[in-house]
Structure 1
Amino acid sequence: MTVAGLERSLFDRDAVAAMIAAGEALILAGEEHLLASLPAGRWIGGTIPYFMTAEAGGTFDRERLFVQRLPQGASVHWQGLLDRDALPRLDATGPDNGYTVILMPSQSEVHRDFALHAIEWPGLFRRPLVGWVTGVALDQVGIDTPRVFDGATATASADRAVVMHVALPDDRHARVDIVNLFTQADGPALTFDEGDGGFTVEHVNVDGVRRRLVDHLAEQGIDTRLPLVADYNGAMINVAIANIDAATGRVTFFAPAFPGTIYRFAAPVEDYERAFAAQIAPRTGDLAFGCNCILNYNYAGLEGRHTGDVTGPMSFGEIAYILLTQTLVYLTIERD
């Protein structure tokens, strides 16, 4: 029996192992050594030590695991690891009614393929798809390796995605929502050419004039904690800056900048905690999954602060059908 209010929370390793032994189906997040120590069972997991919790708000924790239980009446339809060749067909093993959770390691080839090409894959929108990009402690980036875990086989991977298809009863359905606090500021239109588009760029067209992006950033004094924002058919989608290499003039993003799309830098957000609470839509269903971005945690000082009532890991990328950054994603289960 799940204790009310603890469907999504932090637990020590032994408590999680007991849940697995009892046959519970779980989505887990935590440090690699904790995930690697768990018994086989109906769970998938990914590495990250940052979380949003109901009890303490934003939390950095290397000794506990964040647990998201499957909602009442749901069941695991299929789970497993997919390499980059199999990933475009991820919908094929899913249920007629349900949703899919996918975790993928940051900077892996499956991460790149999903970011660049998922929108083209047949069946991508057949059922709700949510998930997150796994990572490591920020002071260990480039040292530790992000991984995912398939609990069914107790297997870890740094180069494959792990997928869990969840089946729902016929009288229920899953719904995906996102909260993006960022809107376009009144800056110039920025576009990227076919040859430059992707995770790393050098040049940008500023109101049609081609120049180096690093020069534009420096001359305009742009706060690079703010993402580029584009209007994707009415939805504001972010491209966050990951790194600037002053020596080469190359700028790396957490998500690809697509050629021909008009971007502008975001307007500042005054109070992240209050803004998240205001924008999370009233729900009639049960919250089954949530994640938020490590950049929101880091840049907005969310340690000890809340993002409404949505809890979950703070990730290196969020997934709501496509790859997102600096965005909160959540999934609810509604009754028909």
Structure 2
Amino acid sequence: MNQQMGYVSHANQLPVIYQQLLNIAELNNPELGADWWQLLIDHGLNADESPQFWFNEITVPQSGYALLPLCSSLRQHHHLRALTNCYTTLYNPIINGVGGNTALTELLIQVRQVLRPATLILRPLAQNTLPQWHECLDNAGWLSDAFFCFGNWYLPTTGLTYERYYAERPAALRHTLARKNKKFSQHGRGQFRIITGGAELENAIDAYQTIYAASWKSPEPFPYFIPQLIRQLAVRGELRLGFAMIDNTPAATQLWIVTQQRAAICKLAYDPRFAEFSPGSLLTAHLMQHVITVDNVTEIDYLIGDDSYKRDWMTHRRERWGILATNPFHWRGLMNTANHRLRSSIKKLLHL
């Protein structure tokens, strides 16, 4: 098979066919688009980390293409990982054509033979893609083991009205919302705002950051990532930056992303000074109503984590997993495999 393989450090350096494939992949997952990759490279990596977009081009007509975004580190040069960070909710290679899996396997062979890493960590992955990953990695000469990353709560909303959605929420949540909304609305003290862009955007970003800094949340590991993401979303028409205001003061904020009839709840925070109003819960309800009624989304996704409150708002749960792939031709890889499998066995014994 006639193949050309290599890697570039930025998505805009890829051959045209791969830039087109990124545009297509972005329709199903915004985190696979060129804008996301550039944002992550510019504002979401550590100083010693370098991106690598591995790709192959099979010149035989009707064959497959594969693109594998990876990240290397000067401090951990024996290890490779997926080009992701703490904000990434789903990772996948870009493959196309009937020979896509074969092309991905060939890429994984090249990565192992050229870079000779001890390990390759891929996460977070959709659970139903694990068999594909294991098959490609095994055929490429890697040893692979899966591990759990986090739960992902979501709500299918096709044909769902907000009235029906609200009526189906747990009684305790409905009673809390009704009681707090009465206090919130009393004497016109409370109001909601949803910013999508325009002249208010920079002030909205400042307000978001002020609330976040005052909240219980830990400081962002990459402080410029979210502000720039907000600007990027505004340009694309995908921004829903919500605020609950009390006496004209921002009390709670939430960053939602709406694209391809899917709403993703990305970030949320509230100012503890206004905790008696439950502004976060009231804002969630308001944004739920907006994306169901106005944006007409077919799914709402709480993204990362099994926080208990998400069960009150969502109805379905799926899992995101990771894969530890080790290089059997590298002694560090063999040690990592042995350690990982030993820990997994101990965990299973403890849960018997």
Query: TM-score, normalising length from structure 2?
Result: 0.22
Higher-Rg structure is 2
